[in-house]
Structure 1
Amino acid sequence: MAELTVDDALMAKATDYVRRYMAKYDGSHDFSHIQRVLRLALHIQTRTPATSRRVVALCALMHDVGDAKYLLPGEDGTRLIAHVLRSLGAEEALADKVQAVCLGVSFSAELRDPARAAALLAAHPELAVVQDADRLDALGAVGIGRTFAYGGAKGRPLVDTMEHVDDKLAWWRDETDGVGLDGLPSDFD
């Protein structure tokens, strides 16, 4: 993570926390996923000047902390990120902003409540950057592998996971009119 030049002390503490926290997740949402999303988000952020690199980096790093799919009994995913960041020394306003953005990253939450998603995007332009990075990691061979890893971890029949892949591909085609992924760094894998 040598390319990080914002809040290195806070990022180092948050990275250590996320690495330990994500160890309980299956391979579809492990720390390697976080590293890919962080790298993509920082790349995208360089082309979106209306966003804060500091906020984008923290949101990309923390976006799956408190994910409802993995919450332990008694954990409150709606405040977990803000609580953790404050305990690591972040200002309250920054911690609350990162929490708000991270609650908006979920693809399924956006589909369930498009109006809420639009309001969050208007209030926090960093959300679009992190959403795009997270969704790009759900594409291609890595994305398909992650989908099957998640299905296997949840004990889903193979046919159900295959159907989910087909549904996502159909959504992508319909929503993007088949637009490609131009602009990604050529060394990105």
Structure 2
Amino acid sequence: MQATNSTRHPELDAWPARLAELAAAALAEQAPDGAHDLNHFERVWRNAQALLAQYPQADALVVLAACYLHDLVNVPKDDPRRSSASRLSAGLASERLAALGFPAEKIPAVAHAIEAHSFSAGVPATTLEARIVQDADRLDGLGAVGLARMFYIAGRMGSALAHGSDPLAQDRPLDDRSYSLDHIEAKLARLPGMMQTEAGRQLAEARLATLTDFRNAFAAEWSGTPHR
């Protein structure tokens, strides 16, 4: 896989460091956010590499750039402008990639992948590269890392860990704005079925199992009941 993409894009190996530097400069202009930092960008790129191994026809350089720049403009989850974040990131990425000497003919594809990655924006991913980036980003919201990010974001938003007497929402509507644990069932459990690639779906299902096991164990401890 790596050899194939290096053959098609001889400059691929030089770009991660340059894109990381670009992303770090943009992040330095914003409030720190441990769920959407440079480590997140690098994890998304690693996820994307796992998917690219199954889709060698995709343009790896486009995917690489979109992974590193997809959250270049970070808007908090509870901000009413949240749905505009990916469009703003796409615009800023296009400007800075052009200034960096990125291949001009690939910039529109990078911008589309960035704009389409967002859950809240609702922009359909119309290219294979955009579908890979979307899946790679959503994979970072699942599994052990996704669990840590979920509670981190909930803490920043002032959410409670869980509902006091009904942590699994058996007799109440889900409310993941008020209760962090609700987010697993309200949104994260839906992600495997929303994956754009078969490889992404398989990885998502495995990572969701980690969250489901945690949710059940958490509720048992929270309620003082045996965990099965």
TM-score range, shorter chain: 0.7 to 0.9
Q: Which has the larger radius of gyration?
A: 2
TM-score, normalised to structure 1, is 0.74
- Residue 21 of structure 1 and its aligned partner are, at CA, apart by 2.7
Alpha-carbon separation, structure 1, partners of 2:98 and 2:161: 41
- Structure 2 counterpart SS, 1:164: helix
Q: Does 1:15 align with 2:37?
A: no
Between the aligned partners of 2:97 and 2:192, the Cα distance in structure 1 is 37
Listed one character per residue, the Cα deviations across residues 78-107 of structure 1 (whole Å, up to 9, x for unaligned) are: 511101111111233322221121010012
Q: Find runs of 4+ consecutive structure 1 residues off by over 6 angstroms.
A: none
Q: Partner letter of residue 142 of structure 2?
A: L
The one-letter code matched in structure 1 to 2:63 is: V
Equivalent of residue 34 in structure 1, options 41, 54, 76: 41
Secondary structure, counterpart of 1:156 in structure 2: coil
Equivalent position to 1:166, from 175, 185, 200 = 185
Change (3 A) 1:50 1:8: closer
Give per-residue Cα distances to partners, 1:123-164, cap 9 Å, x unaligned: x21011111111111111110110111121233333422222
Tell me the distance in 2 between the aligned counterparts of 1:174 and 1:65. 27
The separation in 2 between residues aligned to 1:28 and 1:36, in whole angstroms, is: 11
Report percent identity of matched pairs. 30
Aligned to 2:116: 104
Distance 2:188 2:88 in 1: 32
Once residues 143 and 43 of structure 1 are traced to their aligned partners in structure 2, the CA distance between those partners, rounded to angstroms, is 17
Structure 2 residue aligned with 1:113: none
Q: Aligned pair 1:126/2:129, yes or no?
A: yes
CA RMSD of aligned residues (A): 3.1
Q: How many residues align?
A: 169
Equivalent residue in structure 2 for 1:94, among 103, 106, 110? 106
Matches of 1:173 and 1:87, distance apart in 2:
37
Q: Which amino acid aligns with 2:67?
A: A
Q: Which runs of 5+ in 2 are unaligned?
A: 82-86, 163-178, 196-200, 207-228
Structure 1, unaligned runs of 5 or more: 111-115, 185-189
